[in-house]
Structure 1
């Protein structure tokens, strides 16, 4: 069904005459008549009938015009949604790890509620590999992921990764352990249980790499996703594990700096290549990158 012809029919139902429609659309009465006739052939029903020297819509024409109002509105909404120059509006789905959601996304979402209320953001918490899989399947529009200098991510060729921020990680140990100054002596923890992430192998790769540099293979006993729970296990003496150097937990845990090469977590905002022409995604990505 030709949308242009449908628009003419909707205008005819609104204005009541072909002459008025022609004036409204800047065309001729003959053209309006021809387009209505062509639409009638498309749908297989008479859409207008003569009334004196004028015409009126038949019951079928009235029903189609009623449908046409919604159809034309949907077409216009789709056009605006895809127009790279349109005002950003729409639903953007984001998958990301908790720290990036708190640090980079939530402040932006709060601000967009005031500056661009037409942009809505759905937030899903996922680890990097999970988030990238969702992005690849078009289940989300934006992925907030991380890697480490000792366990770098290999991004697919069809995505664009924008660096956001970096955080140094250290060794979390019970309060009272470790040197007062200097870096952690990892060899001192060769016989201890170690804690790694339950949902991302990169954390374990970093632990194993750091341990290998001082000559041992760590005994990873606990696999925990929540950093708060990692802290609890360390405080209760169930093992040691990596935590951000800026971690501000309770007094029962210390975070010791690591010797070179250290462990540097790097956060990224990732989108499918070519997708940032969509205004709400472009806006969200720009704001998240600015927030750092």
Structure 2
């Protein structure tokens, strides 16, 4: 099979239209169509089918595109081995939660623009379950996800996961509230009669609240479901409930953050790819940059805490 045709098929699976593939590879839509047709004849398999005014990959086409990732990664690795100075090139599709996009991905975009201009990013904001579904459907190449230490994500053997960073979370309450002393269950017990605010697009923090409340001997009254951390603060300020927020996040003047210990509550972030896909040089580069930035940010945070 012609490697160039495999690249076009893979890009079609990533980008969704022959026009975008042509723009990505610097050729014409007609040339892309002809090469995909030649690959179909070469494999004696129907690889694409009409879909409205566009085309989409058939199940066989998607399977071949999946194999193409490994094949092209091996070819690219051989090229880099023979020419270590060669630059990775390609578009990496990323989906992640907003905090990770701001904290991890945006610094990487600056690095790519300066040092690796042939690697481009396409960014989508999604909660972990949404991002992992897109990863499984091969609609993205990299997912930025999170879980909590008290509600760990289920391991998936088809995925490769790289830890990035973790942050402690606190209980956010009105500043006028009485401040209880003790470990996390005792702190939550003092607010057993309050309404609770949890995430509308993920059940992870609701699981954590439920675990801590059960340790304190009550069932939390989940009343509000919102996605924005800023909106959580607004609801707390309005007296509509309490919820969890990052421990070091600036908060509104009318909010107090209560530390949670025994057990400690931590949000843990990850970079996730499908098995074998980290061999593709553009993905490998982005993963390495994410890990490097996470390490340097962690050291900087540690120095600030020591001061």
TM-score by length of 2: 0.68
Q: Which residue of 1 aligns with 2:213?
A: 211
Matched, 1:254 2:247: no
Q: Which residues in structure 2 correspond to 1:192-271 (within 5 Å)?
A: 192-271=194-273
Once the two structures are TM-superposed, the CA of residue 211 in structure 1 deviates from its matched residue by: 0.5
- Deviation by residue 1:234-287 (Cα, 9 ceiling, x = unmatched): 111000000010010221111101131121110000111111121111000100
CA contact (8 A) 2:183 2:262 kept: no
For the structure 1 residues 80 and 217, does the alpha-carbon distance in structure 2 shift closer, same or farther, using more than 3 Å as the test? Answer: closer
Off by >4 Å, runs of 4+ in structure 1: 78-82, 180-184
Q: Which runs of 5+ in 2 are unaligned?
A: 4-30, 40-70, 81-85, 295-307
Q: Which residues in structure 2 correspond to 1:22-41 (within 5 Å)?
A: none
CA contact (8 A) 1:183 1:256 kept: no
Partners of 1:282 and 1:240 in 2: how far apart?
41
Q: Which residue of 2 aligns with 1:83?
A: 76
CA RMSD of aligned residues (A): 2.4
2:190 is paired with a residue whose SS is helix
Q: Which residues in structure 2 correspond to 1:17-56 (within 5 Å)?
A: none
CA contact (8 A) 2:104 2:293 kept: yes
- Deviation by residue 1:100-121 (Cα, 9 ceiling, x = unmatched): 1111110011111010111110
For the structure 1 residues 2 and 199, does the alpha-carbon distance in structure 2 shift closer, same or farther, using more than 3 Å as the test? Answer: closer
Partners of 2:289 and 2:134 in 1: how far apart?
22
Q: Which residue of 1 aligns with 2:93?
A: 93
Partners of 2:287 and 2:178 in 1: how far apart?
41
Once the two structures are TM-superposed, the CA of residue 195 in structure 1 deviates from its matched residue by: 0.5
For the structure 1 residues 90 and 220, does the alpha-carbon distance in structure 2 shift closer, same or farther, using more than 3 Å as the test? Answer: same
TM-score by length of 1: 0.71
Larger Rg over CA atoms = 1
Q: Which residue of 2 aligns with 1:283?
A: 285
2:213 is paired with a residue whose SS is helix
How many corresponding residue pairs? 222
CA contact (8 A) 1:178 1:256 kept: no
Q: Which residue of 2 aligns with 1:170?
A: 170
Partners of 1:164 and 1:80 in 2: how far apart?
24
Q: Which residue of 1 aligns with 2:126?
A: 126
Partners of 1:158 and 1:2 in 2: how far apart?
28
- Deviation by residue 1:170-199 (Cα, 9 ceiling, x = unmatched): 100011324287656211111110001101
Partners of 1:2 and 1:221 in 2: how far apart?
57
Partners of 2:215 and 2:137 in 1: how far apart?
38
Once the two structures are TM-superposed, the CA of residue 169 in structure 1 deviates from its matched residue by: 0.5
Partners of 2:267 and 2:2 in 1: how far apart?
54
Partners of 1:238 and 1:171 in 2: how far apart?
15
CA contact (8 A) 2:145 2:271 kept: yes
